[in-house]
Homo-oligomer: A and B are copies of this chain.
Amino acid sequence: VPHHRGPRARARRGEGGRLRKDILAAAGRLLAETGDQDAVSIRAIADAVGVTPPSIYLHFTSKDELILAVCNERFAEFDRRLEEAGTRGTDLIDSMRRRAHAYVQFGLENPEHYRLLFMTRYNLTPGADDQADLAFAHHVQTVTECIEAGLFHEGDPTLLAISIWSAMHGITSLLIAQPGFPWPDRDRVVGSVLDLILDGALRPRATAQENGIR
C-alpha cells in the first residue's frame, strides 16, 4: 500500500485531533478496498495517512476501538441514506419501498462496509454502536406508521420490522458473499424479494381476488 500523501506535515499545537479524522477516513477507505478488519492492518492505515504505526495509538487505544469508530461512522452514513430515501416517498408504502431499495443499494455500493456492519460480529457488546441503534429505530418507526395507517397487517411492529430487515439483508448479503452464484439480473432479484415480502405484509386489497386452488 503506497503512501498517498507522502510524509505528513506535523500538526500544530492543539491540532492533534486532525490526525484522528484522517486516520478514520483512511481506515474506512482501506476497509472498503480490501475486505474485513483482519485484512486491514494498523501499519497499512498509518502508511496511508503518511505517519508511523505508533501514532495511531495517540488517538485510539487499540485496533478494536478504531474499527468500532469506523463502524459508527459508516452506520451514520447508512442511516442518513435510508432517511433521505424515505423522505422522497410519495406515501408511506412508497417510502418503505424506497428505504428498502436504498438499503440494498448501500450494501451493493459498499460491499465491504456492509460486510463489516452486518456480516461480522465486530460489535459483541450490546449497545456499543449508537448509530446502529438509531438506524434500527427509524426502521421500526416506518413499519409502525404503515401499521397504524392500516396498510400493513396488525401485529408486533418490531417482529414485522425484523422480518422485512431479514429479507433485505438476506438478498444483499447473498449477492455480496456469493459472487460465484449464477444470479439472474440483480434488479429483478431485488424486486422479487421486495414484492414477496410486501405482499406478505400488506393487508389484502378491499377488492376481493377470487382464485381457486387448482
Q: Which residues of A contact B (CB under 8 A)?
A: 38, 118-121, 123-128, 149-151, 156, 158-160, 162-171, 173-174, 176-184, 188-189, 192-193, 195-201, 203-206, 208-214
Smallest CB separation, A71 vs chain B (Å): 12
Known contacts A121-B176, A128-B180, then 11 further A-B pairs from the complex at CB < 8 Å, ordered by chain A residue: A124-B179, A159-B189, A166-B167, A166-B171, A166-B174, A167-B167, A195-B200, A200-B200, A200-B201, A204-B204, A204-B209
- With A and B bound together, what is the CA distance between A199 and B205 in angstroms? 14
* Contacting residues, chain B, for A168 (C-beta < 8 A): 170
A119 CB contact (under 8 Å) in B119, B128, B163: B119
Q: How many copies does the complex hold?
A: 2
Residues B193 and A163 in contact, CB atoms below 8 Å apart: yes
A173 CB contact (under 8 Å) in B125, B160, B169, B184: B169
The answer to whether A209 and B206 touch (CB under 8 A), given A159-B188, A199-B199, is: no
- With A and B bound together, what is the CA distance between A120 and B115 in angstroms? 9
Smallest CB separation, A43 vs chain B (Å): 18
The answer to whether A208 and B206 touch (CB under 8 A), given A125-B180, A158-B184, is: no
